[in-house]
Amino acid sequence: MSSSDNTISRRTLVGTLGAGLAAAAIPSAAQAQASTAQPVADPTSKYPKPPYTSPFQPWPGLASKMTPPPDHGETSYKGSGRLLNRKALITGGDSGMGRAAAIAYAREGADVAINYFPSEEPDAQQVAELIRKAGRKAVLIPGDLREEVFCLKLVSQAVSELGGLDIVVSNAARQHQMESILDMTTELFDWTIKTNMYAPFWIIRAALPHLKPGSAIIATTSEQAYDPAANLYDYAQTKAATMNFVKSLAKQFGPRGVRVNGVAPGPIYTPLQISGGATEEHWRNFGGKYPLGRAGQPAELASIYVQLASQDASYTTGNIYGAGGGDGQP
């Protein structure tokens, strides 16, 4: 065999091997895409529609006792490493949007600390188990956000046990429907203001020294900030304040490289509603008058919290992302 034949043979062999390797890589890439793909579903029938019959519970209520239980993405959310090795603190992380965010963050590679009211421990333990199954660290910090001393401890403990902090999700909230301001007590009004306005102030102020450039703060506001219901006088104004602090702090923290954004849900199927947040009549048809004809599920907002925390959204700050079922704001 001549040297030229030898060269051609080697070239042919290398080319064949290269083509084979490329062909072998194609199925694995397709498999990776398939693992995160979701089937197309009609949003009007994807989840249960009203009338909802889950019984009312004493405040703060447990997601695990709702029938049917809310979907927080326990079986549906698939991660792709978008938040690998990030450190997140989520208030109200036992249920609702906080739980959905906690599950999604862990499956995207983040370690997660969640705060919740002590009586919500059963739900919190479920979240912790899901975080650990994703191979990430779970830190549980129960306590009352109406207390400044606890809010400072919350941040300190999260930083200590996570080994740092670069995502803060201010999600916990208090809501109760009250048909007349004449029926609202100072105690109830104070409860809402302390939980929804004071706590984020205390927590963000304590967290800021730990947040390096590239960090993210995400607040849960509401469609109530834009179109308040008559019977949510106190709650609605706190959510308007939340929307405003997002825009204010985005300007203040922008030069530090810390982004601040908000999520504004419409009617979402959570324990908040069946533990005083809604009347029985309102709950029965919750979300039924919206264009999609139903309440949203926490899982349907998880990807928004991921996007706002990820580096893909590095130019997004001072913005509010809505998820309102067609009739919400913004």
* Given 52, 235, 269, 305, the catalytic residue: 235
Residue 328's CB is within 10 A of a number of other CB atoms, namely: 20
3 state DSSP class of 277 = helix
3 state DSSP class of 57 = coil
CA angle 183, 185, 189 (to 5 degrees): 115
Distance CA 207, CA 203 (A): 6
Q: SS3 letters for 208-221?
A: HHHCCCCCEEEEEC
**Residue 235 among the catalytic residues:** yes
Distance CA 161, CA 67 (A): 35
Find out whether 59 and 276 touch, Cβ atoms under 8 Å. Answer: yes
Residue 168, sorted as left (phi over 0), alpha (psi -120 to 50) or beta, turns out to be beta
Distance CA 140, CA 154 (A): 10
The distance of Cα 7 from the centroid of its chain, to the nearest Å, equals 59
Find out whether 86 and 309 touch, Cβ atoms under 8 Å. Answer: yes
DSSP character for 287? T
- Token pair, residue 107, equals 């499956």
> In sequence order, which residues have a C-beta less than 8 Å from that of residue 104 and are 6 or more positions away?
73, 77, 79, 302, 303, 305, 306
Preceding peptide of 68 cis, ω within 30° = yes
3 state DSSP class of 49 = coil
Distance CA 311, CA 320 (A): 17
- State the catalytic residues: 235
